[in-house]
Amino acid sequence: MEKQPGAFSKYLIPLAILGVMFFVIGFGVGISGFLTPALKSAFNLSTGQSYLVIAAIFSAFVIFGSPAGWIIKKVGYRKTMTLAFFVMALGMLLFVPSARWISFPLFLLALFVGGIGNTLLQAAVNPYVTIIGPPESAAVRMSLMGIMNKSAWWIAPLFLGIFIDLQEVQLNDVIFPFYLVTGILVLLGLFTFFAPLPEVKAIGEDEEEESVQLSSYAKNKTSIWQFPHLLLGVLALFLYVGIETLPMASIIDFARATFGDVPNLEGYSKYVTIGLVVGYVFGVLAIPRIISQTRALILFALIGITASLFLIYLPAQYAFYALLFTSFANSLMWPAIWPLAISDLGKFTKSGASLLVMGIVGGAVIPLLFGFLIDAVKVSTEAAASVANYQTAYWIMVPCYLFILYFALHGHKIRVK
């Protein structure tokens, strides 16, 4: 694929279509974040058990990350996106019997199936956005997609609020909304199948391209495991997705511990989205005109470390707002980590993308560890988690940001000849 400065205008329509897909991905995560406290109440779950909701979705990335890359190789990006929507629709449809039979395991299965569809979609759309234009502006395109993605996090609970009482959720109330979402996903799958999305290839992805040295670094490689910068990028992405998901998954419970059972508690989740979107807007305006995507990653990792320490040490009412500040820090990490990790992979680009997608399981592992940390530090298993319990558990964010800082400074530069 040619990469000219005018590529953005040339592929404006495909990028708009991809923006819708990123919105759908965010919508699914937003619903799961809302379901965490709701299911905790409905099934009388502990804090750690409630985070199995997030784990059920993100564990699919580990299991189906590699098959997703194989599917993309066989059928291409567009058909993989189409399949992803149909699988996500199946997952949404499974919510209906889950609610009718009041079965938590079946809810987890529905979330897992939806996670499979999410895996396919992530494996297809992220490399597509990265390689559809010039590499130096990849973070800008990813930031635009991020605005769509994170806006959906906020809209998902509002959408559910049209049909159900968010203050007192009954499982039977979710049946009609999920029927509706299932229909929308099926229509999006059909639309994607006929959409004008050209197939794209990364530099050196075709064997014949290698002969002209378009990707000399990848030319003599025989395995995806020979790219240390990619492997470090997978770990950075794993940690990043975990600490990005954590504020959305924990903010309602943390707000309840801080402010008590105030009205419209679910409304606090929108502040996480606002912080992310503000950061994405900064990325669109500043990269690469004012700051490179690498320096932006360094800056935002430092902001994340600072915000985490404020979150841990400040008094409760101020610490809560530091949690929102971590969302701003998280905003530019995905747009910067992805292109740095996938650079110079040549013919291994699709395999590298599937490996990176597997790193998204951090969105399950980190919040799950966080939940069990809270349970471990509570004075009693029967007592509600206190602000101090949450602040202790938030220590999990600090080493994550430190590793991302290392990747931004040195890790992405490591090469093996």
pTM over 0.85: no
Within 10 angstroms of residue 324's Cβ, the number of other Cβ atoms is 19
Whole-angstrom Cα distance, residue 397 to residue 52?
19
Is residue 25 one of the residues assigned to a domain?
yes
Residue 1 domain flag? no
* Cβ atoms of residues 294 and 332 within 8 Å: no
Domain-located, residue 210: no
| Residue 205 falls inside a structural domain | no
The residue segments making up the domain with residue 21 are 7-198+218-413
CATH number of the domain that residue 48 is part of: 1.20.1250.20
Contact at 8 Å (CB) between 135 and 1? Answer: no
Overall number of domains in the chain: 1
In a domain, 212, yes or no: no
Q: Look at residue 263 and tell me if it is in a domain.
A: yes
Report the alpha-carbon distance of residue 377 to residue 319 in Å, rounded: 19
Give dist(CA 239, CA 77) in Å, integer. Answer: 26
Kindly state the tokens that stand for 160: 């559910």
Q: Is residue 164 situated within a structural domain?
A: yes
What does the alpha-carbon distance between residue 381 and residue 375 come to, in Å, rounded to a whole number?
A: 7
**pLDDT tens digits in sequence order for the chain, 417 residues long:** 444 444 455 677 888 888 888 888 778 766 665 666 566 666 777 766 766 776 777 778 888 888 888 888 888 888 999 999 999 999 889 888 887 887 888 888 888 898 899 888 888 888 888 777 777 777 788 888 888 887 777 777 777 777 776 666 666 777 787 788 889 889 989 988 888 877 776 655 554 444 333 456 767 777 888 889 999 999 999 999 999 888 877 888 888 888 877 666 666 777 777 888 888 888 888 887 888 888 999 999 999 999 999 999 998 888 888 888 898 999 889 888 988 898 888 778 778 888 888 888 888 789 889 988 988 887 666 667 788 889 999 999 999 999 999 999 998 888 765
Sign of the CA dihedral with 116 first, then 117, 118, and 119 last: positive
Residue 334 lies in a domain: yes
pLDDT per position as a tens digit, 223-246: 888 889 999 999 999 999 999 888
